[in-house]
Chain A
Amino acid sequence: MALGETFTQTAVSLRTVVQRFSLGLLVLAAVGAMLIGKADTVLVERVRAVVSDLVTPLLDAVARPVAAVNDFVAQIEDVTNLRAENARLREENARLLAWQGVARRLDAENVELRGLANFQEGPQARFITARVVGDSGSAFMRSMLLNVGRRAGVAPGQAVITAEGMIGRITDAGEHSARVLLVTDISFRLPVMIERTRERAILAGDNSSRLKLNFMQSVGGIQQGDRIITSGHGGSFPVGLPVGVVTSAGEDGIRIRPVGDLSRLELVRVVDYGVTGLVTNPPPPPPPLHPVRGR
């Protein structure tokens, strides 16, 4: 009992101290955090990686039920769109069959020409499949949390793709978690080119569902429906990953629709291209050669 009373007394006096602790100081602390977040990004990112590592197992645990719910919602949506979707797929199938013929012919021709020219292939890419376990619905940022990290070979700067094309880039990696900055985020920039004209440009997100194209030498040649692919400049991505399709090209700039449905991602692949060129963070120290203790 005596212990209990002491505990209660301590709690009461602690509460008095906390209440006296002026709110102003706490507000100052919050403002200070803003300034530190601006000034010492390395420290903040280290803390952020630790926090992500702590939370990812929890999110991972609920990932399957969440996926089940998402599937159910998607099924309802699909059933309502069945007829239109069917018509679209028929049309697309016809078009793709035509392209298949073209691709076969070009592939054969390519093999022959490479043989003639003694062409050197680029480095082979390695893929790491990851589940999307977190999703910031924030109004200021478009990013996702993945359930793989450095242990699996994920590093900042790597491209994140789906079957349809590139959707983002790894910006920080913890031991078991990594954060993807989506192409739609306001701070996302990517060297790209127009597939048809091979003209280079910088792709930029602005937090909306459409992307912008900056620094074009000329906008004359670009048409609605042109595909945008990675140009490989900056070094960290393979060349030719699809990124989007031009939806409008007018006086007020060029708008791009990203590939795939960014709001419906469950599994993505991280591309380890073996090259880290221009990345935002310093590369992580190399992993120890001997096996990790206790695991």
Chain B
Amino acid sequence: MEFLHRLDRLAYALAPAFVILLLMLASLIPLRVPFLPSVATLLPLMAVFHFSLHRPAAVPAPALLLFGLLFDLLQYGPGAPLGISALQFLLVWRVVSSSRKYLLEVSFAFIWLLYALVVGAAVTLAWVLGALLQASLVDPWPALLQYVVSLFLYPILGWLLGRNRLAEASS
């Protein structure tokens, strides 16, 4: 029993990292469902936001750096910028985990607003850096569309991932 208990705790501790990796893979799958491709790239970032708020200990910053680099390697081809996702993950983690003491007591609407602000800033940062590193003006519309669709998707994803909220908040 002791062993099973420990296994259970280990699974609990590793779940967020596993979910982020899984979403990174999922975002690469060429699924042609309407609207899904336009948001797929932001799925890992959404999960990072979520877990930074609810399970910050389970997503340590060094792991996020690694995940971000891996994601950049996976989703782009040669000559493409590297490290942008890593920077996004780290900054989102920093902003959210530092203010989570207050955030755990506010209503979901407020968290959603914070999501809009933080992820909006992260997407803008990625766009600016992408344009700088490629030394050309990248069309901002796809990034904007991704952002807007992710706004509507966040409550659903948050609900799907969010069942552990009380568990950690009370411990």
- The chain A residues found within 8 Å of chain B, CB to CB, are 4, 15, 18-19, 21, 23, 26-27, 29-34, 36-38, 41, 44-45, 47-48, 51-52, 55, 58-59, 62, 66, 69-70, 73-74, 132-141, 143-145, 171-172, 179, 181, 185-187, 206-208, 263-266, 280-281
Contact = CB atoms under 8 A, between A and B. Distances in A.
B103 to A, nearest CB: 18
B28 A33 contact: no
Given A135-B30, A207-B139, 20 more contacts: A19-B60, A26-B90, A30-B68, A34-B82, A34-B83, A34-B84, A34-B87, A37-B83, A44-B82, A69-B32, A73-B32, A133-B30, A137-B38, A139-B126, A172-B77, A186-B134, A187-B134, A263-B32, A264-B32, A280-B78
Interface of B: 6, 25, 27-34, 37-38, 40-41, 57, 60-62, 64-65, 68-70, 72-84, 86-87, 90-91, 94, 126-127, 129-130, 133-134, 136, 138-139, 142-143, 146
Contact of A23 (B78, B84, B90, B129): B90
Contacts of A134: 28-30, 74
A31 B86 CA distance: 9
A55 B28 contact: yes
B62 A140 contact: no
Contacts of B134: 140, 186-187
Nearest to B57: A15
Given A30-B87, A145-B28, A136 B78 contact: no
B77 A27 contact: no
A29 B74 CA distance: 18
Contacts of A171: 77-78
Contact of B31 (A47, A66, A186): A66
Among B25, B30, B65, the one with the most A-chain Cβ atoms within 10 Å of its Cβ is B30
A206 B78 CA distance: 16
B146 to A, nearest CB: 6
A146 to B, nearest CB: 11
Among B65, B78, B81, B134, the one with the most A-chain Cβ atoms within 10 Å of its Cβ is B78
B25 A55 contact: yes
Contacts of A44: 73, 82
Closest 8 CB pairs of A and B: A37-B82, A33-B83, A135-B30, A139-B143, A30-B86, A139-B142, A34-B83, A143-B77
Given A30-B83, A207-B138, A51 B29 contact: no
A56 to B, nearest CB: 10
A135 to B, nearest CB: 4
A140 B61 contact: no
B65 A30 contact: yes
A206 B25 CA distance: 26
B29 A33 contact: no
B41 A138 contact: yes
Contact of A73 (B33, B81, B87, B94): B33
Contacts of A48: 73, 77-78
B25 A138 contact: no
Nearest to A76: B34
Given A52-B74, A136-B28, A145-B28, A26 B62 contact: yes
A47 B69 CA distance: 11
B80 A139 contact: no
A27 B64 CA distance: 11
Contacts of B25: 55, 58-59
B62 to A, nearest CB: 6
Contacts of B6: 4
A139 B127 contact: yes
Nearest to B142: A139
A26 B65 contact: yes
A34 B133 contact: yes
Contacts of A51: 70, 73-74
B61 A23 contact: yes
Contacts of B29: 59, 62, 66, 134-135
Contacts of B129: 34
Nearest to B143: A139
A185 B76 CA distance: 11
